[in-house]
Each structure stands twice: as C-alpha cells, then as structure tokens.
Amino acid sequence: MSLSDQARVIPRLHLVGTLVVVVVLTLALGSIFSWQHIDAHRASIARLEQVVTAKLEARLDAEMASALDYLEFTRSRTEETLRNAVIEPVEAALQIATAIHAREVGRRPDDDIQRLIVEALRPVRFFDGRGYFFIDDMSGRFILLPTAPQFEGRLMPDNQDDTGRYIMRGLIDAARLPPGQGFFRYRWYRPDDPQRMADKLAYVRHFEPYDWLIGTGDYTYEWEIHLQNEALARLRGFRFGESGYVGLIDAEGRSLLSPSEPELEGKHFSELPAEQGEALRTLYAKAREGGGLVRYLWRNPATGVLAPKLARVETAQPWGWILVVAVFEDELHGALLAERESFERMSGPRGRGLMIALGLALGVALVASWLFSRWSGRLFMRYHDENRAQRAALRAQAERLRESEDKLATILDSVEAYIYIKGADYRYSYANRLVCDLFDCRQADLVGKTDADFFDAATAANLARNDRRVIEHGERVAVEEINTTRGGTAERTFMSVKLPLRREDGSIYALCGISTDITQRKAMEEEIRHLAFYDALTDLPNRRLLVDRLQQLLAQGSRNAQHGALLFIDLDNFKALNDTLGHDQGDVLLVEVACRLRSCVREEDTVARIGGDEFVVMLGGLGVREDEAVAHARAVGEKILDCLGKHYVLQGHVHVSTPSIGIRVFAGKGLQVDELIRQADLAMYEAKAAGRNTLRFFAPELPQRPH
C-alpha cells in the first residue's frame, strides 16, 4: 500500500478506533460509578481520620516544644537570677559600713569603728537564713565570718575548695573589679550537709577606708530548686484545647505534676492505684526508650470513665524531668462525625453531576474524532515529505558529528587525567584511555556498565552518593574519593571534579567527571603526619601528641569532673648501659620498655616517650573521687615497677633496669599541661632521691628542680 493510500485509510481507522474506545470507556465508567462512590466515601473518611490525627500530633509537638523551651529558659535564668539577688544585699551592707564610718570617723578610734561595722552586719540574715555577710581584708585575713567566728582574725590567703581553687585570692581579685562585676564562683560547705561542698556564687565590693572587701553569696543549687518550683507552678496552669495539659514525672518514676489528679503528686507509679499506676508506668517506659508518641487509658474527669489519651513524652535535660503533653482523643470525634454527615449530603448531587459530565464528554469526543480524521489525512502527507528531507539533513549532520567526536576523543585520551561521562541512569557513556586502563577493558565493553561492575561494594556506594548530588540536585562536586577496584588489594585516592551536563531547558541528562590520582601524595602526607606525632624508635606518641591528648583529657575532665593521672617514668642507670653495651643495645632496651609499658595499661590510656629514657603514661577516667583516682594510679605504677623491674637479655647477657616513677593526679579547670608534666617530673626525682625503683606522688611541698 502506498503512502498516499495510507494517508486516506489511517485517519478512518483512527476515527473508528477512537469511537470504540470512547464508548467502551463511557460504559465502563458508568458501570463502576456506584462502586467508586462507596470506595471514595471510605477513602475520604480514612483521609479525614489521618488528617485529624496528624493535626492532633502536630499540636502535641508544638505544645511539647513550648514547654521544653520554657523549662530551658527557666533553667538558663539561674545564674542571672542569683547574680541579681546577691548584688542588692552587698550594696546595702556597703552603704551601712560607709554610713557608720562617715558618722564616727574622727570621734572614735579606727578599731572601735571597725567593730561597730562588724557587729552591725554580723546578725543580718537573708535567703531563708542561708545568706550572711563576710568581711576580709585585702591581704587575706578574715574580719567577719558569722558561720565560723573562730577563723576571724586569721590570715588565710591560700584557703582552697575541694577542686583546688583559691577562695580568698579569688574574692580579693573580684573586689578589685568595677561595681557590678565583682563575682567569684567557688565551692563551700553545704548548710544541710557540712561534709560536702557545693557550687557557690559570691559578690564582693571593696571598702576603701579599711581596705576591706564586703560580700555575700549563695548556693546555685538552692536557686535551681527555687526556679524548678516556679516552673512547676507555671506548668500547672498550662492548658490547651478542652482537656490538654502538661504532666511531669521525675527520673525515678514519681509524679511531680498531675493537674487533673493532684493527689497523685509525689507518689511513685508503683504506689498508685492500678489504672493510674499502669498509665504512668507506660509513660515512664516510653521516656526511657527515648520519648515519642504513646497512647494509654486515663479516666476522663468530665465523664468518669476510662478514655484513650494521646501524649507526647520527652525528657528535659539537665533536670531529668519527664514531660508528658497529653489530650483526650475524643476531642476530635465531633469534627469527624460532622464531616461524615456533610459527605453523605453531598454524595447524591455529585453522582448525578458526574453522569451528566460523562454524557457531554462522549458527545464532544465523537465530534472531535470525526474532525480529527479529516485533518490528519492532509497532515500525514506533509509530514512524510518533511520527514524525508529531515532524514537526509540528519545523515549529513551525523557524519560531521562523528568526525568531531573522533577528534575530541583523541584529545581527551592524551590528557593525563581520568575523564568520563555517565548518563542519568548512572551508566558510563564515555571514558578516556586512562579510565579504560584502570578497568582493564575497552571503551566498547565499558559503555552501559555501572561502577558496581568495576569497584567493590563500598566504593560503588560512595561514588553513587557523590554522583547523585550532581545528577539529582545539580551540584558541582569536588571531593576526594578512595576507590578499590574489584579484586584489587590496594586503595587508590582520587581528587574528583563532577559537573552536571544540561539540556537547553536546564534539565540534567548526564554528568562529566575529571579525576586525578593523588594516592602517592596522600601517602606522603600521612607519613609526614606520623613522623610529627610519633617517636621514630618506639613508635609511641611523642611529647607533641601527648600534650594534645592531655589538653583533650583536661577539657573532658572539666565537664564531667573525672580525675586523671600522669606517670613520669625514668629508667635507673640507663646511661651506664649505653656506656657499657653501646647506644644500639640501649635502643633495643627502650623498644622492649615501650612494649612492656603498653601491656601495663588500658587501650584508651596513652604511653609516650618524651626523650631519652623518659616515658609518660597518661591515665583518664579514674572516677570523680580523688582517693579512688590515687588508688588506681598507684596500682598502675606498682604494675609498671614490677613489669619493668624484670630482667632483659641483651647480647646474651642478663640486664636489670629498674624505673623511678613520679605520679601527678589531677582534676578540674585551670590546669596547665606543661605544669602537670613538670610536677610529675618533680615527683619522679623525689622517687630517685628515695632510692630509685619506687614511686612517689606529687605534693606542693616538694622541692623545685632548677631549670
């Protein structure tokens, strides 16, 4: 059949086919309308329930965020509130002292005026009886200390708290600051437990006439308790919706806040009636799992019957409170019922309208199909003529394009870089000579393959993540990639640049990658880094790496109050070994000592060689109690004495080289790395002076070594 005949037949066949399809579709749509209507009703109700539930969950999320923000804001006010509270009494005390001095100066001796000021301030109490005024002179002498009058008149500039902080010195330094800035934080004995210290914030002012400092302070934990009570009172009145409120459970499972049933507050969930106890146990367990949404049963105070509640549970740090934002799910059932009735009222008119629309669509489709069949016949002939001319032009253009591609391929194969193109399906469509050599295949065998065909699984997954950023998000990626080919034993590192290739409309159809092999450069960088931080003989960390790790340990200890220890180890009579057997045998001994030291400590501890026969062992995580830390450090030191004291075999001869060990146990802020190492060194020299092959702990009274 010729193209001219086809131009007449095809539109007629298209008309018949279109009519058949339209009629069949119309009948099918009409026959299944009833089923669709019922199914649409069920789906609408299900979607409505999902929307209602999602809104409820979103409301709980918002209320939980608001409650958490309020608690965090309240907790953050502790410092500011305490600062404002201690300023006012100190300013009042300073005014009293100034007034007494101004009134009595020239009329009485200074000693009498000083006694008048002291006795005027001695009985004053505030902060629920905890607050009192203290007076010290600027040389460190107690003038007024109502809680310990036996110290009055004593010079104690070096008194310290349990963290080693100098209290008197800090107060003197604070008194020299401008008004409103003289704050100092230290630790002092708790009034409810005189054997323990707690954080205290003091504010002081300088009283110039007698070179005194006058101040007061209070414990931060007392103000945290005050703000916690304030937060409980605020949250008790918090409401949303008809039944929504905030409840609180402490870290042990006791109810702190239950607005609907206040009689439960202060009781553990195991002490509550079965219904309430089971509900609180469920909420407590959810918090221990990390929090989230939970459903449980609770008696509705409006109806008196058990009803389902939906709650969001989260733990508020650092107080450890468990927040429960809950609401009865029945609140939203009214909206759901109204929506169902509305849908049923609208379903009848909607069905009739759909049938009318189907009839109109059928008529329009029939007329349109007949008109299209007449138009398509004329169009088909014109299309055939144009298509024949376009095919001829495309053949000529393709020939020119092949010639350009051959020239470009020659240029890209001469470039000393790995160049490739991947399509939107992540399959290779082009690769230059270096890529083919890397995969040991021809380009024809590479096209259509993915990275999973050439690399191991981990490499292929990493390459896919980087490619996805280019193809799916249009990013320009420059990244280091560590690649291992299938069956390969060595990793190779590439510096890769990947660019998206776009069509005229901006859509991405492929990516172009250019990679450079930097494996040797990375190996050299790693070797240089190792030489900078490790001892060349023993492969132990050197002094530089030890200082870095010790700084990190001090930073961690200041946050979690954990103790650490430094053990400074020096080999006894090592010079004699070098003089008799030679430095090469001395090096053999040092390598064996390093091996034995590693076996004496935990994997997370650090053993370092800082020069000659000097080694340092750094221990961390020794607990918050100093006596436990000292005991642990002593046990490790004695283990090292025993291990290093065993004989060595050098050139067939038995040699004994004992160690002398100095130990510095430390914790808290304000410590300097070089000072800790120097103090451990002083303790080591004390061990040598005690006869060697022993250990000594650093004490402030040890004699200082000349530099």
Encoded amino acid at 584, one letter? D
How much is the pLDDT for 41? 60
The answer to whether 154 and 142 are in contact (CB under 8 A) is yes
**DSSP track, 118-180:** HHHHTT--BTTTTB--EEEETTSBEEE-TT-GGGTT-B-TT-B-TT--BHHHHHHHHHTSPTT
Can you list the domains of the chain with their CATH numbers? 76-225 (3.30.450.20), 415-518 (3.30.450.20), 534-697 (3.30.70.270)
Task: Give the distance between the most distant pair of CA atoms in the chain.
Answer: 136
Q: What is the pLDDT of residues 274-323, one digit of tens each?
A: 888 888 889 888 888 888 899 888 888 877 788 888 889 998 877 778 88
What's the average pLDDT block by block, 10 residues per block, for the chain (707 residues)? 54 65 67 64 69 78 83 80 92 95 93 94 91 94 93 91 92 94 92 87 95 94 82 81 82 84 84 85 87 87 82 83 84 62 64 69 71 65 66 67 61 78 91 83 86 86 92 88 73 86 91 84 75 88 93 86 93 85 89 94 93 93 91 95 91 88 88 92 94 91 55
Query: Across 503-543, where does the E strand assignment appear?
Result: 508-517
User: According to the model, what pLDDT value does residue 3 have?
Assistant: 47
Which DSSP letter does residue 236 get? H
User: Per DSSP, which regions of 350-491 are E strands?
Assistant: 418-423, 428-431, 477-483
- 183: part of which helix (H) or strand (E)? strand 183-190
Residue-level pLDDT at 84: 92
| pTM attached to this predicted model | 0.39
The answer to whether the beta carbons of residues 287 and 323 sit under 8 Å apart is no
Our measurement of the distance from residue 331's CA atom to the centroid of its chain's CA atoms, rounded to an integer in Å, reads 38
Side-by-side strand order, sheet with 564-571: 606-611, 614-619, 564-571, 659-666, 695-697
In the set 613, 627, 642, 681, the catalytic residue is 613
In the prediction, which pLDDT does 13 show?
65
The question of whether 613 is a catalytic residue gets the answer yes
Strand pairing report for 695-697 and 659-666 = parallel
Q: How many CB atoms lie within 10 A of CB 198?
A: 17
pLDDT for position 512 = 92
CA-CA distances (angstroms) from residue 502 to 258, 274, 465, 649?
Answer: 61, 67, 20, 72
Given this model, what pLDDT does residue 385 score?
Answer: 64
Total Cβ atoms within 10 A of residue 246: 22
Going through 306-427 in order, the beta strands assigned E by DSSP cover 306-316, 321-328, 418-423
Kindly tell me the burial class for residue 630, based on how many C-beta atoms sit within 10 Å of its own C-beta (0-12, 13-18, 19 or more).
middle
CB-based contact 294:286 (threshold 8 Å): yes
Residues 6 or more apart whose Cβ sits within 8 Å of residue 457: none
Total residues belonging to the chain:
707
Contacts of residue 72, Cβ cutoff 8 Å, sequence gap at least 6: 316
How far is residue 186's CA from residue 174's CA, in Å, rounded to a whole number? 12
Distance CA 329, CA 294 (A): 12
Q: Identify whether the C-beta of residue 210 lies closer than 8 Å to the C-beta of residue 230.
A: no
